[in-house]
Amino acid sequence: MDNIVQWINDNQDMLIGFSIKFVIAIAILIVGKIVANTVTGVMTKGMKKRQVDGAVISFVGAILKTVIFIAAIMMALSHVGVETTSFIAILGAAGLAIGLALQGSLSNIASGVLLIMFRPIRAGEYVDAGGVSGTVEQINIFQTIMKTPDRKVVFVPNSEIIGGPIVNYNREELRRIDLVIGVSYSANLQQTKKALMDVITSDERVLKDPEPVVTVTNLGDSSVDFNVRPWTKNEDYWPTRWDLLERIKDRLDEEGIGIPFPQMDVHLKKDD
């Protein structure tokens, strides 16, 4: 114990100097975090005023905050006497090793950058991507947050979105409704076609341009199949589709046009 006290007395100036540097380093980290939050907040407000896509704002904000805080850590280490040049070299070598071990995570980061650059999806759009159908909430560094119609929140890795087909349902203003209506072979085709066309054209949500189409598309095993293809605005797609199906069934019943069940003719042969 006496030796420890003697060592402290002999190195009092050095300990005081190191303590001051350590406190300043902690202060640098705190200030760095405050600066990162402040700069990110200012950038977010500025981008929102310019009506930048929300996914871009969240992605850029996350990267900016991370870069500023890493810079603050390097400054703090340099202030307490850590040689940052050699530290950066060691960090680079460690980063290479970690990068090889975390190829999937790095792929997600690169995919996130591609999503932001080319913007095949944006916040608020309803898409099929990465095997999930839902509304895009945020695009983060590693993953994209989507909300399904039944209010499930799904976190999809960015690499899975970039690596597969992306179906964006909101990028175009108009959308076509594709219905396949099967009727009995005994039905009059012209009467059926007129009845189907009357139903879709009587709905004010169905657009006149592009013109709706009703045509025979297939002679099936038990039915004659009609393709019914009206156009509507994107926001009216599902209500219009549901209403048309109900009205088509009612109209076919009124016209006496049957919608057959799948059926099979069986021929029995009687041996003598």
CA dihedral 234, 52, 136, 210 (to 10 degrees): 20
How many Cα atoms sit within 13 Å of 268 on the Cβ side? 2
pLDDT beyond 90 at 182: yes
Query: Comparing 26 with 166, which gets the higher pLDDT?
Result: 166
- The pLDDT value recorded for residue 58 is 74
112 in a domain, yes or no? no
Kindly give the residue spans of alpha helices, DSSP state H, lying in 50-83. Answer: 54-79
Residues 181, 162 share a domain: no
Cα angle 87, 88, 91 (rounded to 5 degrees) comes to 85
When divided into structural domains, the chain yields a total of 3
264 in a domain, yes or no? no
Nearest-angstrom CA–CA distance, 226 and 184? 11
269 in a domain, yes or no? no
pLDDT beyond 70 at 88: no
150 in a domain, yes or no? yes
Q: What are phi and psi of 74, to 5 degrees?
A: -65, -40
Cβ atoms of residues 165 and 122 within 8 Å: no
Residues 79, 148 share a domain: no
Q: Select, from the ranges 9-13, 102-106, 139-143, 175-179, the one with the highest average predicted confidence (pLDDT).
A: 175-179
Residues 154, 66 share a domain: no
- In Å, how far are 24, 43, 71, 239 from 35, measured between CA atoms? 16, 12, 11, 49
39 in a domain, yes or no? yes
- In Å, how far are 84, 87, 98, 185 from 94, measured between CA atoms? 14, 10, 6, 73
φ/ψ region of 265 (left if φ > 0, alpha if ψ in -120 to 50, else beta) reads beta
How many Cα atoms sit within 13 Å of 243 on the Cβ side? 15
Residues 146, 204 share a domain: no
Of 54-63, 224-233, 253-262, the poorest mean pLDDT is in 54-63
pLDDT beyond 70 at 128: yes
Cβ atoms of residues 99 and 91 within 8 Å: no
Residues 79, 134 share a domain: no
Mean pLDDT for all residues in the chain: 83
Residue 148 sits in a domain of what CATH number? 2.30.30.60
Of 44-48, 59-63, 247-251, the poorest mean pLDDT is in 59-63
Residues 178, 155 share a domain: no
Give the residue numbers spanning the domain of 132: 119-168
129 in a domain, yes or no? yes
Residues 185, 149 share a domain: no
Condensed to tens digits (0 to 9), the pLDDT of residues 238-248 reads 999 999 999 99
Beta strands in the chain (DSSP E): 126-129, 132-139, 143-147, 153-157, 167-168, 174-176, 179-183, 213-219, 224-229, 231-233
Residues 16, 33 share a domain: yes
**Final residue of a domain: which of 134, 150, 168?**
168
270 in a domain, yes or no? no
Through-space distance between the first and last CA atoms of the chain, rounded to whole angstroms: 118
Residue 42 sits in a domain of what CATH number? 1.10.287.1260
Condensed to tens digits (0 to 9), the pLDDT of residues 188-210 reads 999 999 999 999 999 999 999 99
Residues 95, 37 share a domain: yes
Residues 131, 85 share a domain: no
User: Counting Cβ atoms within 10 Å, is residue 254 exposed (0-12), middle (13-18) or buried (19+)?
Assistant: exposed
Query: Comparing 100 with 36, which gets the higher pLDDT?
Result: 36
How many Cα atoms sit within 13 Å of 189 on the Cβ side? 12
Taking residue 38's Cβ as centre, other Cβ atoms within 10 Å add up to 11
Nearest-angstrom CA–CA distance, 138 and 44? 14
Residues 87, 7 share a domain: yes
111 in a domain, yes or no? no
**Final residue of a domain: which of 43, 75, 101?**
101
Condensed to tens digits (0 to 9), the pLDDT of residues 53-79 reads 666 677 777 777 888 888 888 787 776
pTM: 0.60
Residues 186, 155 share a domain: no
Query: Comparing 225 with 25, which gets the higher pLDDT?
Result: 225
